Amino acid sequence: MQRNSAFRRNSFYYILITPAVLLMVWLTVYPVLDVLVLSFYDYNYITDVRKFAGLKNFQQILSSELFRDSFVNTLIFSLAATLIEVGLGLALALAFDGEFFGKRHFMTVVIFPMMLSTMVVSAVWKTLYHQDIGLLNSILKQLSLKPVGWLIDPSRALSSIIIVDIWQWTPFTFIMLQASLQSIPREIFEAAQIDGARYPQIVFRITIPILLGQILLIAMLRTIDTFKLFGKVYALTQGGPGNATETLSTFIYREGFSYFNLGRAATASLLTLVIVSLISLFYIKKLVQEEGPNG
């Protein structure tokens, strides 16, 4: 009885949260469970044959060279892009710290690349990278250097996509780190200067240690985002040449929507889910501690 009235008193909150819960269950919880079940099935969408397969999908996927390539490519892309973006962003934040003429306008322009749609970014880089009439190769030719097969040379294609991501997202690490740098009390630096510390010492002994938490958080955000890599690959290389730029996302897309092997695509999805969760465990823990209701 008492329980019932307590519920009625709080029913307002239950009503408020219900639509969100229903939508999340429908669009995310159920699909994840479905992927879990489906990964143990042999299911072809075209023939509509669905039968239990045990661990067969897992065996096939884990021993598939394409999956391994996709995983390694995703890892390389994610690590390289994150490291360079965070490193460059930190260097820029240090270089453009403090006040100077036109700073606000400068920063507003600096974030243009991250504001552009990935498809717009891919489109312009595709023209710049073009083998015969792209601007980059034309500059190389005028300098009497050999043209580079930016997107058609298997040993280059992945790094060309990394360059695009660096161009697009270094502005993000830059403004985030620049904002955290701004929040450090100036007295700390002044005191260090009075004590005779030189600039590099201040950067490596004071600034970076203070910012370490923020740096890790931003690196985590970039790792998570780069792990989703799909649009750029789709627009720039379609996974090629060969398998040089296949990623986990393009692998799942191909299995599911080109070959209609829904079982195997689900297995790859599940494995990706596990990999991503493991990588971001630290991040989730930190954010929930900070923002969560018990924090």
Partner 1 sequence: MANVRNKSSNPVFWVLMAVILGIILFPVYWILVTSLKTPLEVVLPIPTIFPRELTLKNYIGVLQSGFLKNMGNSLVVSISSTLISLAISFCAAYALSRFRFPWITNTLFLIWILVVKILPPVVLAIPLYTMFNAMSLINRILGLVLVYQVYTLPYCIWMLFGFLKSLPLMYEEAAQIDGASKSATLWFVVLPMMRTGLVATSIFSIITAWDEFLFGLLFIRTPALRTLPLVIADYIGEYETLWGNLMAIGMITALPILLFSHFVYAYYTKGFALGDK
Which 231-290 positions form the footprint of partner 1 (CB under 8 A)? Answer: 231, 234-235, 238, 248-249, 252-253, 256-257, 262, 265-266, 269-270, 272-273, 276-277, 280, 283-284, 287-288
CB atoms under 10 Å from CB of 271, counted, come to 20
CB atoms under 10 Å from CB of 203, counted, come to 15
- Ranges within 7-46 binding partner 1 (CB under 8 A): 10, 12-14, 16-17, 19-21, 23-24, 27-32, 34-35, 38, 45
Tell me the closest approach of the beta carbon of residue 220 to partner 1, in angstroms: 10
User: Given candidates 50, 152, 228, 241, which one binds partner 1 under the rule CB under 8 A?
Assistant: 228
Tell me the closest approach of the beta carbon of residue 209 to partner 1, in angstroms: 14
Contact 230, 253 (CB under 8 A): yes
Among the residue ranges 50-58, 143-151, 154-162, 221-229, the one whose residues contact partner 1 (CB under 8 A): 221-229
Tell me the closest approach of the beta carbon of residue 108 to partner 1, in angstroms: 5
Contact 83, 164 (CB under 8 A): no
Among the residue ranges 57-65, 75-83, 154-162, 225-233, the one whose residues contact partner 1 (CB under 8 A): 225-233
What are the C-alpha distances in Å from 141 to residues 62, 104, 105, 127, 149?
44, 38, 36, 16, 13
CB atoms under 10 Å from CB of 70, counted, come to 24
Distance of alpha carbon 138 from alpha carbon 132, whole angstroms = 8
Tokens, residue 181: 């740098």
Distance of alpha carbon 28 from alpha carbon 162, whole angstroms = 30
- Ranges within 104-143 binding partner 1 (CB under 8 A): 104, 106-113, 115-128, 130, 132-135, 138, 141-142
Tell me the closest approach of the beta carbon of residue 40 to partner 1, in angstroms: 14
| Binding residue count for partner 1, defined by CB under 8 A | 111
Distance of alpha carbon 279 from alpha carbon 46, whole angstroms = 35
Angle at 249 between CA 244 and CA 254, to 5 degrees: 80
User: Given candidates 50, 72, 76, 96, which one binds partner 1 under the rule CB under 8 A?
Assistant: 96
Contact 280, 224 (CB under 8 A): yes
Among the residue ranges 46-54, 79-87, 92-100, 150-158, the one whose residues contact partner 1 (CB under 8 A): 92-100
Nearer Cβ to partner 1 (243/272): 272
Taking the C-alpha atoms of 188, 194, 199 and 202 in order, what is their torsion angle to the nearest 10 degrees?
-40
Tell me the closest approach of the beta carbon of residue 115 to partner 1, in angstroms: 5
- Ranges within 139-178 binding partner 1 (CB under 8 A): 141-142, 167, 171, 175-176, 178
Tell me the closest approach of the beta carbon of residue 83 to partner 1, in angstroms: 19
- The reply on whether position 187 binds partner 1 by CB under 8 A is no
Please tell me what DSSP assigns to residue 127: H
Residues sharing a CB contact under 8 Å with residue 259, sequence separation 6 or more, in sequence order: none
Among the residue ranges 61-69, 143-151, 154-162, 190-198, the one whose residues contact partner 1 (CB under 8 A): 190-198
Nearer Cβ to partner 1 (83/139): 139
